[in-house]
Amino acid sequence: MHRVYRCWVFVCAVSIFAACVQCAHPAAFAQDIAKADQQQTVETPEVVVSATKTPVLAKQASSAVEIITGEELEKRKIKSVIDGLRLSSGVFATSSGGPGATANVKMRGAFARHTLVMIDGVIVNSPTTGDYDFANLTAENIDRIEILRGAQSMLYGSDAIGGVINIFTKKGTSKPTVGAFMEYGSFATFREGGNISGAKGPLDFSVSASRWDTSNFSAINYRRGAFEGDGFHNTQVSAKVGAALPNDGRVEFNMRWYDSRTSFDGFADSGAPADIFGGRHTNRNLILNGAWTQPLTTWWTTKLTLSQANERLRSNSGNAGFNLSTRQFIQANPNSCWDDTCFTSFSTDLEILNRRLEWQNDFRVGEVLLLTAGYQLRREAGDNPSAFGGAQPARTISSNAGFVQGQVNLWDRLFFTAGGRHDQYNAFEDATTYRVTGGYHIKETETRFRGSYATGFKAPTLNDLYYEGFGNPNLKPEKSLSMDLGVEQALFNGRLQLTAGYFWNRFQNLIQFTSSSPPCPPTAFLGYCPINVADAKTQGWEFGFKVELLKGLEVRGQYTHTLTRAFDTAALPVRLGGDKRLPRWPVDQASVGLSYQPLDSVRLSIDYRFVGARQNTLSNSRSQQLGVFNLVNLSASYDVTKNWQTYVRVDNLFNEKYEEVTFYGTPSRSVFGGVRMNYDIPL
């Protein structure tokens, strides 16, 4: 526990120091207070889109939603999206071995496959695994991230049992500008990139390109004896181009492309961790979106969206390794040998395609009611050569869905939403879902109450249904019930904001793997298969705060308490685990962040993160229990001129020893420094 106290003392000490710097200049301090009391800063009201698929003022949203802006990511010098998500309420992120290694995000006790991830309107969840790998998504050119917690299948269909993460690229505004950055640091890390954005007449544009190279980080934890450095090389390009049309219409095109090459480690066939030599993984992803929005009348607006994500994944297991348990070198073997002397070699080449067409219509009925009706066509495809030498046909899951939603706003105080959706699939049974939310805003005290109740579902993946040797085409969708209640309170003219909430989820027909023969079809010749067998329940509390202590000094934080339980279906002849905690979910997690700007040209950010103990597997084995850890990250920047900035970032300031996933490495104390420039373009 001394680490916890040490980190808290450090954060508090910096807060006190910042306050003392202000107090050392009493005239300036008094002036700041006077300005805060006598002047009201003109700010654009915060708007969210994800909660209803229509723009809604954040203070009127009756859903649990959090916004991370691109400006926040840049000020804190956060380099990847998953690092920003780690500090959010109700969210837990894990990485299997440093930069480029598999990185997943879960929400409110659900699994990673239950979090729907969208980038500029494109669904990027893998049709084969069901989740999205955040390992390759950097933070460049991101305008904001909307995190919508709770079951959202009524609006978004499958994949959204736990919630939705909606990522938006920046839109060009005002005069065109060009910028660039360069960074060097620990683990032989080089990062560089550039961007250009702006608007001219009806056209706007925002384009960025970046490169990230590192070559000295071991995917398997070096503290367990690994010594080979695993590289990560990522090239990323993103663009948004839009045009204003007559009568407030808009047409927009979004593109994000990345090519990532990662070295990885694994396990000997006995299950022992192994430092693998030559293991390589390549990920190429092209994400495209086109959208047309047009008001047809004063009361009817239509929007048409076409999107596609095309991903190519290639892997090669390498030809040798080092068994960290026996301390012996091992060789790759095309056939499993089931001992400490080798590991199974493999080579994969997978191409997956995710396409979506959506037509949405919004109808304004009087002053209090907004009706939304839409149709969605979704097609998921995967082409994976046979692992056993034969031909493996391409597989496709397609669906048609219709949804309708009503939003009621009474006196800008009382808010309701209600809606339903029906999804029809070609490969398994249909799904019908609904969601109801309500909120009340007491303007006199700036108090907001909100609540929701919803059903959700998760469709089986291509791997679940058709993977050669263990796929089960008889699977049904997973289902869920979700409820949450929350209250938000603003004090001292909005300088202090408090939030608190309770959530409850019940998951049914969860897909789990079993070696029980009767439920498995004859095509599952490997002896095990996925079946709808398990139920689970999660519940917990979420607390957050944000306070502006002084001008330029802001502190924010969150605490999440999550209780999870997995249950077997009584009809199954073989028990799978009984009443157990779900794997890799901490009961307690918290974060505190401090941002301080003592001068216009100087910024300091400190982020503290606490994660409680977790179980690594559903068996809840004590031998694989993951311990508590505390992390402190620090960044500071200095504007040398109005066009040039230098900065430094320190990750894991106190060199905490920890693992997010058993056996896999995490960064030790790491230091990075860089420069950034930005100039107007005379157009």
The structure tokens listed for 66 are 């959090």
pLDDT reading at 255 higher than 70: yes
pLDDT reading at 457 higher than 80: yes
Beta strands in 384-528 (DSSP E): 395-410, 414-425, 431-442, 447-458, 478-491, 496-514
606 in Cβ contact with 634 (< 8 Å): yes
566-581 in b/e form (b: 16+ CB < 10 A) is bbbbeebeeebbeebb
Q: Write the pLDDT tens digit of every residue in 524-577.
A: 777 778 888 888 999 999 999 999 998 889 999 999 999 999 876 544 444 444
* Closest to 128 measured CA to CA, from 353, 282, 400, 427: 353
523 pLDDT tier (thresholds 50, 70, 90): confident
pLDDT reading at 15 higher than 80: no
Q: What is the pLDDT of residue 466?
A: 87
Q: What is the pLDDT of residue 518?
A: 67
C-alpha distances (whole Å) from 231 to each of 183, 188, 236 are 17, 10, 17
What average pLDDT does the segment 596-623 reach? 88
C-alpha distances (whole Å) from 583 to each of 3, 532, 616 are 25, 18, 5
Q: Write the pLDDT tens digit of every residue in 430-444.
A: 999 999 999 999 999
Higher pLDDT, 7 or 445: 445
pLDDT reading at 14 higher than 80: no
277 in Cβ contact with 236 (< 8 Å): no
What average pLDDT does the segment 57-70 reach? 92
141 pLDDT tier (thresholds 50, 70, 90): very high
* Closest to 231 measured CA to CA, from 257, 183, 276, 264: 264
Q: What is the pLDDT of residue 7?
A: 44
* Closest to 654 measured CA to CA, from 3, 1, 2: 3
Q: What is the pLDDT of residue 528?
A: 79
Q: What is the pLDDT of residue 590?
A: 96
Topology of 2-680 in CATH?
A: Maltoporin; Chain A (2.40.170)
Residue 667 has φ and ψ, to the nearest 5°, of: -65, 140
pLDDT reading at 192 higher than 90: yes
40 in Cβ contact with 494 (< 8 Å): no
Q: What is the pLDDT of residue 4?
A: 41
Bridge partners, 113 (sequence order): none
Higher pLDDT, 43 or 585: 585
The H or E element containing residue 155 is helix 153-156
Q: Write the pLDDT tens digit of every residue in 102-120.
A: 999 999 999 999 999 999 9
Bridge partners, 538 (sequence order): 505, 564
Other beta carbons within 10 Å of 295: 15
648 in Cβ contact with 671 (< 8 Å): yes
Model pTM score: 0.89
341 pLDDT tier (thresholds 50, 70, 90): confident
Q: Write the pLDDT tens digit of every residue in 580-601.
A: 888 889 999 999 999 999 999 9
What average pLDDT does the segment 491-504 reach? 94
What average pLDDT does the segment 72-87 reach? 94
Q: What is the pLDDT of residue 19?
A: 39
Q: What is the pLDDT of residue 624?
A: 74
| DSSP-derived secondary structure for 194-225 | EEEEEEETTEEEEEEEEEEEEEEE-SB-GGGT
pLDDT reading at 206 higher than 50: yes
Query: Counting beta carbons within 10 angstroms of the beta carbon of residue 277, is it exposed (0 to 12), middle (13 to 18) or buried (19 or more)?
Result: middle
- Supply the mean pLDDT for the chain: 88
39 pLDDT tier (thresholds 50, 70, 90): very low
385 pLDDT tier (thresholds 50, 70, 90): low
Q: What is the pLDDT of residue 391?
A: 55
pLDDT reading at 634 higher than 70: yes
333 pLDDT tier (thresholds 50, 70, 90): confident
pLDDT reading at 317 higher than 80: yes
Domain range annotation of the chain? 2-680
The structure tokens listed for 396 are 């496709």
The structure tokens listed for 79 are 């380099």
25 pLDDT tier (thresholds 50, 70, 90): very low
Percent of the chain clearing pLDDT 90 (strictly above) = 69
